[in-house]
Structure 1
Amino acid sequence: MNPASPEQIAAVLRDARRVTIISHLRPDADTIGSALALGLALTGRGARVAVSFAGPEELPATLRLLPGSDLIVAEEALEPAPVAIAVDAATTDRLGGLAAVFGASETTICIDHHVSNDGFADLDLIDPESDCTAVLVLQVLDALGADLNADIATCLFAGLVTDTGSFKWARPASFRVAGRLTEAGVDSAHWSRILLDSHPFGWLGMISGVLATAELDQDAGGGAGLVVAVLDAQRMAGMDWEDGESVVDIVRTAREADVTAVFKESQPGRWNVSLRSKSVVDLVPIARSLGGGGHTRAAGYSDSGPADEVVARLRAAL
């Protein structure tokens, strides 16, 4: 790791004329919001900025509404730049096919808050004590002396409100940041509704089907308890993949289990697994043992095979 402060990163960006910003695979509000906020600020300083992420999934419709989305270019159009920034990615694997573009750039910067991130750039701003990467981007923008206008604040708010579960597990610092962002002009009620409480009608039927698959094992994890649910590709047909991301927050409400796992089939036999814990189990070593990573209370990984085999591997890892 090459630890860097917000001031050191701002010093590099202050004179940058062309910057590439890369979000992680299956982009969520924190990675895209962080990228667009940074991109808007740098564009305002006269830099040429391109934001992108690797496929095959498209950007969810709700995130396409964020200010600055015109900065996003197709994966194949992204080129190495004098400065490349990876946002909210714990490893280069999370950059997918754009890891090569990142590595070929002259100066690389990583801004992230995952505890599993060991650093992979020339300059690493990594703080697991931050609730989201957007807060770290704000620190860089402050060091840069950038104007916190309503558009930039809205992009940062997207990352903050989603990664804290609408502030359900936010640290005190996040509330202070939220105050700054709303004072800068964010319509918090509007964006909270769009980002957290907006789904197609078919989502209701999908949720019903997934909840019917839920199973509870109170002895798993040395008695911590595990609840699992399976979301197969058939149930996700016709919906944004983003609509499947909210399932874990419903399943995790089961009080009998500390650990929740939702298995989401992205393609036949290929699974993205979301893990959550309430207070006892550290998910990082579990996710790492299965090829993933994340935070103590929120992590994930990918696996392949029949659903029962994939679920069995998680049970064994616990």
Structure 2
Amino acid sequence: MTPDVRDRAGRPHHVDRRPAESCPIPDAQWERALELIGRADEVALACHVTPDGDALGSMLAVAFTLRRMGKRVVASFGDRHFAVPRLLRFLPGQDMLVAPEDYPAAPELMIVFDASTFERLGLLCSNAATAREVIVVDHHPSNGGFGTLGLIDAKAAATAMLAEQLVYRLGGRLDRDIATCLYAGLVTDTGSFRHSSVTPAVHQMAARLVATGLRTDEIARELWDRSPFGYLKVLAAALGRVTLEDGLVWTYVTRVDRAAYGLPYAELEGIIDIVRRTDEAEVAVVLKEDDQGDWQVSTRSKGRVDVGSVCAALGGGGHHNAAGYTSHDSVEETMAKFRRELRKAS
């Protein structure tokens, strides 16, 4: 079925749904996913904790499609303080979200987006463990294949690319709501089309989404050009203690920093993208203390070092150039362990 899209003038616009690059996921796995979805009365969707645009956008795009198929749909993520990050509150479909405590205890079918491990589901780990079937839609190389069925493509630039294929295979049509969700996922995980993961298929997907009439300038403003005043103060504190050493640049943000300005943890996401600009550093690290007192470690590489393998060795994972993990140690011990693993990978 060809997506029903129109250009900004309202004229019908034909969209070729065929991917520019072959998908490595076997057709048999897609067919199995469609079979499981087809026979399920209710589908429970989940994405990783503290969701980014790719996680939440992919989940909501598929949720729209399932609801239009007549399925009962419930969607969530397993944060203790359940709230959609401010930057993503423009995404449509949030009426389908429920808090973790209202999520089915033992779903008939659960579809997980953008999570490489069960642990990334937070409070929904137990729900996934008791679900009859768990379909995992993901693009992280560190994904070990958890769940009962994997739709995993480590070469995909974003989980949104797989979500789009699932929408099509379910017989869905692109409209502005679905396209907004998918576009948010695509642009956030490609760094506005700046990362090395960008391929012709990425731009062709973007063209299909923009053809629905998206205001890409408005989406960009929501994602990157807005922040509360307190963010500037916290950013100043983080930059004030930034350290450069042997090709590594790093800093940290404490709960005290945030509390002084009432800044939620989710607002810290962009700090790593400022720190990583340092010309003299190949690897950038930002430690962010969450509300429970643990350190969420974000890492970036300019290409020579595989920070995904470094983070995997420390209990996390991600991609070659962008990865993360959780540390329960002090700042000093966290960085000491990171340096040891970094030396092995360099």
TM range (shorter): over 0.9
1:99, 1:59 → 2: CA distance?
A: 19
Tell me which residue corresponds to 2:130.
104
Tell me which residue corresponds to 2:319.
295
Tell me which residue corresponds to 1:232.
254
Q: Does 1:59 align with 2:84?
A: yes
Q: What's the CA shift for 1:4?
A: 5.9
> Structure 2 vs 1, CA of residues 103 and 3 (structure 1 numbering), >3 Å: closer, same or farther?
farther
Listed one character per residue, the Cα deviations across residues 150-201 of structure 1 (whole Å, up to 9, x for unaligned) are 1011011111111111111123221111111110222211011101221111
What's the TM-score once normalised by structure 2's chain length? Answer: 0.86
Identity of aligned residues (%): 40
1:32, 1:185 → 2: CA distance?
A: 21
Tell me which residue corresponds to 1:181.
209
2:60, 2:173 → 1: CA distance?
A: 14
Asked if the contact 1:2–1:121 (Cα under 8 Å) also holds between the matched residues in 2, the reply is no
Q: What's the CA shift for 1:16?
A: 2.9
> Structure 2 vs 1, CA of residues 130 and 190 (structure 1 numbering), >3 Å: closer, same or farther?
same
Listed one character per residue, the Cα deviations across residues 34-65 of structure 1 (whole Å, up to 9, x for unaligned) are 11111011001100000011112432123232
Q: What's the CA shift for 1:268?
A: 6.6
Q: Does 1:124 align with 2:146?
A: no
Letter of the structure 1 residue corresponding to residue 160 of structure 2: A
Tell me which residue corresponds to 2:238.
210
Aligned length: 312
Segments of structure 1 that go 5 or more residues without pairing to the other structure are 219-224
Letter of the structure 2 residue corresponding to residue 72 of structure 1: L
Segments of structure 2 that go 5 or more residues without pairing to the other structure are 1-24
Tell me which residue corresponds to 2:175.
149
Q: Does 1:265 align with 2:298?
A: no
Letter of the structure 1 residue corresponding to residue 135 of structure 2: I
3-state DSSP of counterpart to 2:206: helix
Q: What's the CA shift for 1:267?
A: 3.7
2:30, 2:220 → 1: CA distance?
A: 28
Of the three residues 27, 35, 43, the one matched with 2:59 is: 35
> Structure 2 vs 1, CA of residues 269 and 20 (structure 1 numbering), >3 Å: closer, same or farther?
closer
> Structure 2 vs 1, CA of residues 4 and 190 (structure 1 numbering), >3 Å: closer, same or farther?
farther
Tell me which residue corresponds to 1:192.
220
Q: Does 1:20 align with 2:44?
A: yes
3-state DSSP of counterpart to 1:198: coil
Q: What's the CA shift for 1:263?
A: 0.5
Of the three residues 116, 140, 155, the one matched with 1:114 is: 140
Q: What's the CA shift for 1:7?
A: 4.1
Q: What's the CA shift for 1:292?
A: 0.5
